[in-house]
Amino acid sequence: MIRQLRRPDFWTVVTGVILVVLVVLLLIPIIRVLLLSFVDADTLKWTLGNYVEVFTRNFYLKGLKNTLFVGFLGTLGACMLGIPLAFFTARFHLWGRAWISTLAILVLVSPPFIGAYAWIMMLGSNGFITNFFGRIGIETPTIYGAHGIVLVFTLKFFPFVFLMTQTALMAVNKSFEDAAENLGCTPLQRFTKITLPLVFPAISTGAIICFVLSIADFGTPAILGRGFRTLSTIAFSAYRSELGGVPTMAVTVSMIMIAISMLALLAQRRILAKRRYASSLTNLPVKTHLTGWRNVAVHGFCHGVVLIAMLPSLVVVYTSFLKTNGPVFVGGYGLESYGRIWRTAPEAIANSFLFATAAVVLITAFSALISYVIVRRETTASGAIDFMMMVPYLIPGVVMAIGFVTTFRSGFFGGIGAAWLLVMLYFIRRLPYGVRSTTSSLRQVKPSMEEAAINLGAPPLTAFLKVTVPLILPGLIVGSLMGFITAINELSGTLILYDAGSITMPVSIYLAVLDGEFGLAAAHSTVLLLCTGVCVYFVFRFTENRNSAFL
Amino acid sequence: MASVEIKGIRKLYGDVVALSDINISIPSGSFFTLLGPSGCGKTTLLRTIAGFHDQNAGRIEVDGKSIEGLPAYRRDVGMVFQDYAIFPHISVRDNVAFGLRQRKVLASDISKRVADVLEVVQLGAFADRMPHELSGGQQQRVGLARAVVIRPKVLLMDEPLSNLDARLRVDLRAELRRIQRDLGITTVYVTHDQEEALAMSDTVCVMHQGVIQQAASPLDIYLRPENRFVATFVGACNFMSLSKEGGQFSLKSSGARVFDAAGFNATEIACAVRPETLRVASGHVTPSPEEIAIPAKILDVSFIGREMEVLTITDGGEQLKSLARPDPAIIELANGSSVTVLVKRDDLAFFEATEVGRRVG
Ligand SMILES: Nc1ncnc2c1ncn2[C@@H]1O[C@H](COP(=O)(O)OP(=O)(O)OP(=O)(O)O)[C@@H](O)[C@H]1O
Ligand SMILES: [Mg+2]
């Protein structure tokens, strides 16, 4: 009697449930979107016409070019800030190093679209910096258009490059550098020939994240673009104009965005495949003291970068306390803006917390189960789940939301309310944060822990709840907090799915900015920043390696 | 207490045969040890009994009843893990009570049984400590207490002493055995330390590459190994080459006829002898009738306290190691001195010359 298959047990059932959830909430919507891009909007027949249109019409080609342009330059800018910052903080004794990291992390998690409109308040046509220089007769460059978007991307995404590179730099075995010096390299040669190549995998991972996020970003080009359109704003407005009809052009454009992200990721994988360095931590790098003008310059650079990157958030908080009369700032300070968000849109605040909390409850439960299946079960199914956890990173919110609309607003699932769709959207888009953090926690727990519990008579679920969950709790909490931060700040998908009863804070902010209601937007943003800050504080409490918790 | 029958167990990991046709019978209350080199399948067999994975073939019976259909959490088989697997987030007391709570034992009984078993393993004063406040040896005893407090039918231990230092290992060895005897639990013990196996067990079962080589009492394993692998793995062996004339084998080094067997070539038979049965005498010695004399030269003598280890080389270039009571007359000999190595005919063992060749005389 030869039995090849494992006896089905509790975890087999769990694996099945997870697969069903992922297929329904992730794969079907994406496949629906993919299929839709091959459908003719009028005749509903299969066609390649949509792609032909995208690749021939100047409007779309320009959008593609613009997207790549701001994507590349934003990534480049992020690298140019992030790499030196990482090197300086990893290799020199810096005053306020923890402060720099903390600010970088705050920049990373602050609501993504705040940057864009805060810069408008500073450098827009009526911005205070513009006005200040205008009064003394100097014309400042406008923030609108491509360079503004690049600036915001650079300042928004550099923390990814910074934190990843810094982590890698701190793990580079110093012996390599010593050996290079011993073989006659100057410090600069040593850096370019040894250190930089060794941390290249980390840099490129950080850069790829910047690139993928830049490509997918909707809020920044929507607010700052004016005439400058990127694929995500084109997809969104195409969706809006096709409303009621079949959103074929919106999804075709979205597919192009996904393709770009996937190509970038594959290219990076290919490059990295040939560069695998086992790192051993036997000889940790040491930090040196700088003196004189170098010391001043390095301190100036590091603190300058994180402060400028934090500027939007500070401006937003400051603005929220300015006295307003309707959309107009009337001078002096006051709480009118808070009063107005409380009177006009208390449901936005309530909804944001409600949806994000509901999503995070699901994220927490599923993260724990999924990470167990991924780490402890080596089956084809668990491999597939592991792979699917990569997908949400690559799919822009606009695409996921259109997939939800086409899948759940009609047919079999028809009639699911917007609120539920939003919770599901946040859940599936932010699930990977929870899973990743929980998975790395679980890898630290020896399997014999659960086996001991089972051996003592605990059924699998009991063993999981009584032994595994308490042991992975820190990772689970950190992952859930990250899920919460990113869920409560979600804009692009929400804009497509929300209705009058399910408006959220990011949507309110977006609408307020479009209406020029900066005080209102600032008050909302401050509330968001506040709860993001509280979450970050708790992440710090529960994690040993602060950098990696946020990546 | 329960007897354990393991019948025809086979376990594959992909193409790797981890266990092949394992048949074992363990009487109730006895201490049964699995001994073998790393990777021979000891842990795999233990985990099969505990039910952590399914075997590809074969069955396991406890007290005559098959436990095939039972999932791991209902097998009533206690296990002490190699890394202890003490739950780090709960106290010693809660660790030990874990299995009792799963069995819905009354709270009052739980506290009594936990207190009792902690006394047995001499950890009564440590009940409220957290695991990280214990030493390795103490954690190991918590693991043991936790496994035995549920009064399992069978107790499994996977190299429970391997993470401890040598001194503690010897102390705990005796303690483990005492506790096992007092409780009378049928025990399957895994180790790759032969001394541990011989010292503790009722039965030692030597495994190699997923196959059982011999299961017997410690004395039989040592004195009457059934195959060449057992002879070399348990205790040390000298091997001497043979030459064959007619149907008769003689030692190359002395010419003495030692073995009659027509069916083998000289290279197919290995002649083994334990170092402690060799006697080294200086100069030329005439052997008694039951002894064989092998002329040799001293290569190295090391005095290691209780014993001396004498390495000699025969005229044919074979090295022989002898282990004996220290003898100043030998220790003082210069390297290269002529000696006679004496061996009793009865102490010679003959195996087919393959790695697991069976004993032929
Ligand atoms: N999960 C697994 N997947 C594949 N092969 C495995 C697995 N576990 C064990 N093996 C293989 O099965 C064989 C037996 O392994 P096992 O762990 O039982 O050895 P062992 O006798 O306990 O060794 P040790 O003394 O080192 O603990 C080995 O060849 C091992 O490589
Ligand atoms: Mg083992």
Domain range annotation of chain A: 13-45+336-551, 48-320
User: Which of A455, A461, A471, A472 to mutate to test binding with chain B, by most B CBs within 10 Å of its CB?
Assistant: A455
Q: Give the C-alpha separation, B213 to B227, whole Å.
A: 7
**What is the rounded average pLDDT of the residues A443-461?**
91
Using the 3D structure, point to which of B189, B214, B233 is the last residue of a domain: B233
Atom of ligand 1 nearest to the CA of B40: 21
Q: Cα dihedral angle (A443, A447, A450, A452), rounded to 10 degrees?
A: -150
Which has the minimum average pLDDT: A266-280, A416-430, B193-207? A266-280
- Note whether B356 contacts A: Cβ–Cβ < 8 A: no
Share above pLDDT 70 across residues of chain A, in percent, rounded to a whole number? 93
Q: Are residues B74 and B103 in the same domain?
A: yes
Closest C-alpha residue for ligand 1 atom 11: B18
Cα–Cα nearest to B6, from B71, B70, B66, B80: B66
Let me know if domain A48-320 sits in CATH 1.10.3720.10: yes
Residue A527: both structure tokens together: 């509330």
Average pLDDT over residues A378-402: 87
**Contact with chain B for residue A452, Cβ under 8 A:** yes
Distance A222 CA to ligand 1 centre (A): 58
* Binary contact (A452, B50; C-beta < 8 A): no
Residue A24 is classified by DSSP as I
Residue of A nearest to B80 (CA): A452
Question: Given CB atoms, is B59 within the 8 Å cutoff of chain A?
Answer: no
| Complex ipTM over 0.85 | no
Least confident piece of the model among A235-249, B1-15, B195-209: A235-249
Question: B31 and B155 share a domain?
Answer: yes
Task: Please report the pLDDT score of residue A1 as a whole number.
Answer: 37
Same structural domain for residues B124 and B246?
no
CATH of the domain at B347: 2.40.50.140
For ligand 1, atom 27, the nearest C-alpha belongs to B38
- Selecting from B56, B73, B83 the residue whose C-beta is nearest the C-beta of A459 gives B73
**Min Cα–Cα distance to chain B from A545, Å:** 21
Cβ–Cβ of A456/B57 closer than 8 Å? no
A6:B54 CB<8 A: yes
The pTM (predicted TM-score) of the whole model is 0.81
State in Å: Cα B123 to ligand 2 middle: 27
Confidence class for position A421, pLDDT limits 50, 70, 90: very high
pLDDT for the residue numbered A379: 83
Strands B211-216 and B319-324, by their bridges, are unpaired
Strands B248-251 vs B257-260: parallel, antiparallel or unpaired: antiparallel
- The predicted pLDDT at position A2 comes to 41
Give me the residue from B56, B71, B85 closest to A452, CB to CB: B85
Give the model's pLDDT for residue A274: 67
* Domain membership flag for residue B280: yes
State the pLDDT confidence band at B26, using cuts at 50, 70 and 90: very high
pLDDT digits 0-9 by tens, B202-234: 999 999 999 999 999 999 999 999 999 999 999
Give the angle subtended at the CA of B169 by the CAs of B164 and B175, to the nearest 5°.
125
Report residue A282's pLDDT band, with 50, 70 and 90 as the boundaries.
Answer: low
From A467, which residue of chain B is nearest by alpha-carbon distance? Answer: B87
* Average pLDDT of the segment spanning A418-432: 93
Residues A218 and A233: their CA atoms lie apart, in Å, by 6
CB-based burial of residue B247 (10 Å sphere; 0-12 exposed, 13-18 middle, 19+ buried)? exposed
Query: Which residues in chain B have Cβ-Cβ distances shorter than 8 Å to A9?
Result: 71
- The band of A280, judged by pLDDT with boundaries at 50, 70 and 90, is low
Examine the domain organization and report whether B16 and B112 are in the same domain: yes
* pLDDT, tens digit (0-9, with 9 covering 90-100), for B29-48: 999 999 999 999 999 999 99
Of the candidates A446, A456, A470, the beta carbon closest to that of B99 is on A456
Beta strand B57-62 pairing with B4-13: antiparallel
Residue B275 sits in the same domain as residue B176: no
Please name every residue paired with A256 in a beta bridge, in sequence order, or none if there are none. Answer: none
Identify which has the larger pLDDT, A277 or B153: B153
> What is the B19 CA–ligand 1 centroid distance (Å)?
10
Q: Determine what percent of chain A is predicted with pLDDT higher than 90.
A: 28
Angle between helix axes A518-542 and A469-488 (nearest 10 degrees) is 170
Q: Please, which pLDDT band fits residue A4 given cuts at 50, 70 and 90? A: very low
The reply to whether A273 touches chain B by the CB within 8 Å rule is no
Specify the DSSP class assigned to residue B144: H
Q: Residue B114 belongs to what domain range?
A: 4-233
Q: What CA–CA distance (Å, rounded) separates B297 from B300? A: 9
Residue A548 in this model has a pLDDT that exceeds 70:
no
Rounded to the nearest angstrom, the distance between the alpha carbon of B158 and the centre of ligand 2 is: 7
Give contacts of B 90-119 with A, CB under 8 A: 98-99, 102-103
Measured between beta carbons, which residues in chain A are less than 8 angstroms from residue B83? 446, 448
Taking domain A13-45+336-551, whether its CATH number is 3.40.50.300 is answered by no
Collect residues with CB below 5 Å from ion ligand 2.
B 43
SS3 B361: coil
User: Of B233, B257, B279, which closes a domain?
Assistant: B233
Q: Is A467 on the interface with B (CB under 8 A)?
A: yes
Q: Is A7 on the interface with B (CB under 8 A)?
A: yes
Indicate whether B209 and B119 sit together in one domain.
yes
Distance in Å, CA B46 to ligand 2 centroid? 9
Q: Kindly state whether residues B133 and B37 are assigned to the same domain.
A: yes
Which are the contacts of A274, defined by CB distance < 8 A and separation ≥ 6? none
Residue A322, chain B, CB below 8 Å: the answer is no
Answer yes or no: is pLDDT of A43 > 90: no
Q: Is the pLDDT of residue B253 over 70?
A: yes
Mutate to test the interface with B, among A378, A456, A464, A473 (most CBs of B within 10 A): A456
Position of tokens 């400028």? Answer: A308
Interchain contact A189–B (C-beta under 8 A): no
Say if A378 is an interface residue toward chain B (CB within 8 Å).
no
pLDDT, mean over chain A:
85
Residue B135 backbone dihedrals phi, psi, to 5 degrees: -80, 170
Cβ(A483)–Cβ(A195) under 8 Å? no
Given B170, B199, B233, the domain boundary residue is B233
Q: Is residue B163 part of a domain?
A: yes
- How confident is the model over B261-277, as pLDDT tens digits? 767 776 778 889 999 99
Residue B99 to chain A, least CA–CA distance (Å): 5
- Residue A17: alpha-carbon gap to chain centroid: 27
CA distance linking residue A367 with residue A434, whole number of Å = 5
**Pick from B56, B85, B99: CB nearest A3:** B56
Partner-chain residue, chosen from B54, B87, B103, that has the shortest CB–CB distance to A457: B103
Chain B CB within 8 Å of residue A4 CB: yes
Residues of B in contact with A454 (CB under 8 A): 52, 72-73
pLDDT for the residue A414: 64
Please report, for residues A63, A89, A306, the alpha-carbon distance to residue A97 in angstroms, rounded to integers and kept in the order given.
40, 7, 11
Chain B CB within 8 Å of residue A469 CB? no
- Which tens digits make up the pLDDT trace of A162-206? 988 888 887 777 777 777 777 777 777 777 887 888 888 888 888
The total number of structural domains that make up chain B: 2
| Higher local confidence (pLDDT), B335 or A44 | B335
Do residue A451 and residue B52 have CB atoms under 8 angstroms apart? yes
The answer, yes or no, to whether residue B344 has pLDDT greater than 70, is yes
Contact between A211 and A75 (Cβ < 8 Å): yes
In a domain, residue B358? The reply is no
Q: Are residues B34 and B115 in the same domain?
A: yes
Measure in Å the smallest separation between the Cα of B132 and chain A Cα atoms: 14
**B8 interface with A at CB cutoff 8 Å:** no
Q: Is B266 in the same domain as B291?
A: yes
Q: How far is A4 from chain B (nearest CA, A)?
A: 7
- pLDDT given for residue A347 in this prediction: 87
| Minimal C-alpha gap between A538 and chain B (Å) | 21
> Is residue B258 located within the same domain as residue B226?
no
Mean pLDDT calculated for residue range A120-125: 82
* Domain harbouring B29, CATH code: 3.40.50.300
Measured CA to CA, the distance from residue B186 to residue B49 in angstroms comes to 13
- Out of A25-34, A117-126, A143-152, A343-352, pick the least confident: A117-126
| Co-location of B134 and B212 in the same domain | yes
pLDDT confidence band for A544 (50 / 70 / 90): low
Are A457 and B99 in contact (CB < 8 Å)? yes
Of the candidate ranges A273-282, A348-357, B102-111, the one whose mean pLDDT is the lowest:
A273-282
Residue A412 pLDDT class (50, 70, 90 cuts) = low
> Given a cut of 90, is residue A15 above it in pLDDT?
yes
Q: Which residues touch B314 (CB under 8 Å, ≥6 apart)?
A: B253, B294, B295, B296, B320, B341
Q: Point out the residue among A7, A451, A463 whose CB comes nearest to the CB of B54.
A: A7
Residues having CB closer than 6 A to ligand 1 are B 13, 16, 18, 36, 38-44, 192
Judge: A9–B98 Cβ closer than 8 Å, yes or no: no
Q: CATH topology of A13-45+336-551 equal to that of A48-320?
A: yes
Identify the CA nearest to A207 among candidates A371, A356, A71: A71
Q: Which ligand is nearest to the CA of B44?
A: 1
Nearest atom in ligand 1 to B19's CA: 14
pLDDT at position A550 over 70: no
Residue A3: per-residue pLDDT: 41
User: In terms of Cα–Cα distance, which of A425, A435, A428, A432 is closest to A367?
Assistant: A435
B47 CA: nearest ligand 1 atom: 18
What are φ and ψ of residue B359, in 5° steps?
-75, 135
- B302 and B155 fall within a common domain: no
> So what's the pLDDT on residue A139?
78
Per-residue confidence (pLDDT) for residue B126, from 0 to 100: 94
Interface of B with A in 130-169 (CB under 8 A): 146-147, 150
pLDDT at position A182 is 76
Would B60 be classed as within a structural domain? Answer: yes
